[in-house]
Amino acid sequence: MADDGDGEVIDEAIVPYECTSDALIWDGDLKRMFSDFEASRIIFIFDCCYAGGMTDLKADGRVICMASTESGVSYESSVLQNGVFTYYFVDKGMYQGEADTTPSDGKVTVEEAFDYAKANVPTVVPQKPTISDSFENDLLL
């Protein structure tokens, strides 16, 4: 258990590339870092294993898009040159506009991008994207 103030027995952390245990960014620390933000809308996107546990960041006006469940894994693809979730969420869904569905208006909301990614992550990859959405409407409104 990390001493990050959230009291969880099993804790989540971001593991920066080639880091030591002293460099982990714990979910309770992230929650604290973002607790005083004056922004009314914040989006967190985690394309990593065990991302589903980052719901400690949940608050009004925030959406947390996670590539996997709290106990699930996230996959990278050399063919896609990205994480599988990121490829469908950002590359195909947002950049190429394929997530623009509800309504089809030339604008992609974070919810549309997430739904597109969740529907298109191949079923042969046992990856289950999850979302915590506390936006009142969507990012564009």
Please report, for the domain that includes residue 93, its CATH number.
Answer: 3.40.50.1460
Q: How many domains is the chain built from?
A: 1
Question: Do the strands 62-66 and 42-46 form a parallel or antiparallel pair, or are they unpaired?
Answer: parallel
Dihedral through CA 87, CA 91, CA 94, CA 97, nearest 10? -120
Does residue 66 lie in a domain region? yes
With a cut of 70, list the residues of the chain below it in pLDDT. Answer: 1-10, 123-125, 137-141
pLDDT at 10: 67
Token representation of residue 122: 């191949």
pLDDT of amino acid 4: 57
Q: How many CA atoms lie within 13 A of 88 on its CB side?
A: 23
pLDDT at 71: 87
Judge whether 124 lies within some domain. yes
- CB-based contacts of 76, cutoff 8 Å, min separation 6: 82, 83, 84
Residue-number span of the structural domain to which 53 is assigned:
34-133
Q: Within a domain: residue 118?
A: yes
Residue 40: predicted pLDDT: 83
Alpha helices in 8-58 (DSSP H): 27-33
- CA 21, 65, 28, 74 dihedral sign is negative
In whole angstroms, give the CA distance from residue 59 to residue 1.
Answer: 23
Query: Which pLDDT value is given to residue 91?
Result: 96
pLDDT at 116: 95
Q: Which residues share a beta bridge with 50? A: none
Which pLDDT does position 108 carry in this prediction? 92
Q: CA distances (Å), 133 to each of 2, 55, 61, in order?
A: 26, 10, 8
Look at residue 122 and tell me if it is in a domain: yes
What integer pLDDT is reported at residue 96 of this predicted model? Answer: 95
In a domain, 140, yes or no: no
Asked whether residue 69 is domain-assigned, the answer is yes
Neighbour-count burial of 74, counting CB atoms closer than 10 A to its CB (0-12 exposed, 13-18 middle, 19+ buried): buried
Residue at 74 is within a domain: yes
Any domain includes 11: no
Give the pLDDT of residue 129. 93
What pLDDT, on the 0 to 100 scale, is given for residue 7? 62
3-state secondary structure of 115: helix
pLDDT for the residue numbered 50: 87
